[in-house]
Copies of this chain bind each other. A is one copy, B any other.
Amino acid sequence: MRYVVIMAGGSGTRLWPLSRKGTPKQLLKLIDGTSLLRLAFERAARVVPAERVIVVTGAAYLDDVRADLPEVAEQNLLGEPEGRDSLNAVAWPAAVLSHRDPDAVVAHLTADQLIDPVETFVESLEEAFAVAEADPGALVTLGVVPTSAHTGYGYLHRGAPVPGFPTACAVQEFKEKPDAATAADYLASGQYWWNAGMFVWRARTFLEQLAALEPATHAAVLDLAERPEALGEIFPALRKTSVDFAIMEPVSQGRAPGHVLAVALPVRWRDVGGFASLAEVLDGDADGNVIEGLAVLNDAHGNLVISTDPDHLVGLSGVSGMVVVHTADATLVTTLADAEGIKALVGQVAEAVGARYV
């Protein structure tokens, strides 16, 4: 049977003070009061029944996930005691689902992006499931059809088409984030897709690759699937690495049995990893101000204002291109251009006034 695993881990420094260690960005109700996690769940629930949607997140976020996704059964919530990178966020649920259903075919999906149209996403995901079901040796990755020469994503170099499917093809090579000239070449060639970090495969197939490439992790997650009570003992010992580095790249290079295929995801794919991208996906007013919450602006243009306290007023006067974010215990003032500065600021906050604010 088909399953969807939504990966919703990580803390989001770049959206501080909205996102904290206690509130990863996927849980923030950023999009008209809806979280990215909820949007990802609703996309998944168009392809599989809700009872076959699994969420893997940080243990600390489980209560928030339960509140946001009441449809997800308790046994389908996997809480990582600590972040151990993407390989483990993939391998643990793969082992759990394989233990429950040896024939499980699993899509591992991210929740970081705003995706539209959803209908197109659903078609791509169904094609990827069909490819994985038809080809027992395939690791299928979703490749976003690029709309710009983006330097913030890794790329997939497409190979030969897979007969019988509208978009499926081989993957010749995974490419790291390119420089601007290389990204422009990739875009012009039409031979590259963005690596979306979303995968579809038979759980059994993935676990075979894992056994070959990361035998210790393989043994550990199988153990964990049988003894969930040993989570606190097993999980922290897992090797911290990414699924691309540990599995996808070696398999694509022939360093392990099996093969990597890709299916096209021709959607509008917008990262909301920082305030500038958040401002782009939200609707602005006539002055180009994006306002979420109680705010009054005078002679102000192109600002992003977010206030999470409905009784707290934020007033701006005579400013442009600013980011103002007010939460119960912290307020950020920066510019839309200074996305990188927030990370340094949060580091200073942790050092100067302590961990409670980060």
Contacts and interface: CB of A to CB of B under 8 A. Distances in A.
A326 B338 CA distance: 21
Contacts of A337: 318
A333 B324 contact: yes
B298 A348 contact: yes
Interface of A, helix, strand, loop or mixed by DSSP:
mixed
Nearest to A351: B296
Interface centre among A315, A334, A342 (most CB of B within 10 A): A315
Nearest to A337: B318
B326 A341 contact: no
A313 B341 contact: no
Contacts of A316: 332-334, 345
Given A299-B341, A341-B298, A331 B313 contact: yes
A300 to B, nearest CB: 9
A69 to B, nearest CB: 30
A330 interface: yes
A322 interface: yes
Interface string A304-330: 000100011111111100101010111
A335 interface: yes
Contacts of A315: 16-17, 330-334, 345-346, 349
A352 interface: yes
A353 interface: yes
A311 B322 CA distance: 24
Given A330-B312, A333-B322, A317 B296 contact: no
Contacts of A330: 312-315
A294 interface: yes
A315 to B, nearest CB: 5
Given A313-B353, A357-B313, A319 B334 contact: yes
A282 to B, nearest CB: 19
Contacts of A313: 17, 329-331, 349, 353, 357
A344 interface: yes
A351 B301 CA distance: 20
Contacts of A338: 299, 317-319
Contacts of A344: 298-299, 317
A82 to B, nearest CB: 25
Contacts of A312: 328-331
A262 to B, nearest CB: 38
Given A317-B338, A334-B319, A296 B348 contact: yes
A311 to B, nearest CB: 6
Contacts of A297: 345
A318 B298 contact: no
A213 to B, nearest CB: 41
Given A348-B298, A349-B313, A318 B335 contact: yes
27 contacts: A16-B315, A17-B313, A17-B315, A294-B353, A296-B345, A297-B345, A298-B344, A298-B345, A298-B348, A312-B331, A313-B329, A313-B349, A313-B357, A314-B331, A315-B330, A315-B349, A316-B333, A317-B333, A317-B338, A317-B341, A317-B344, A318-B341, A319-B334, A319-B335, A324-B331, A326-B326, A331-B331
7 interchain residue pairs of minimum CB distance = A318-B338, A317-B341, A298-B345, A317-B334, A317-B345, A318-B341, A313-B330
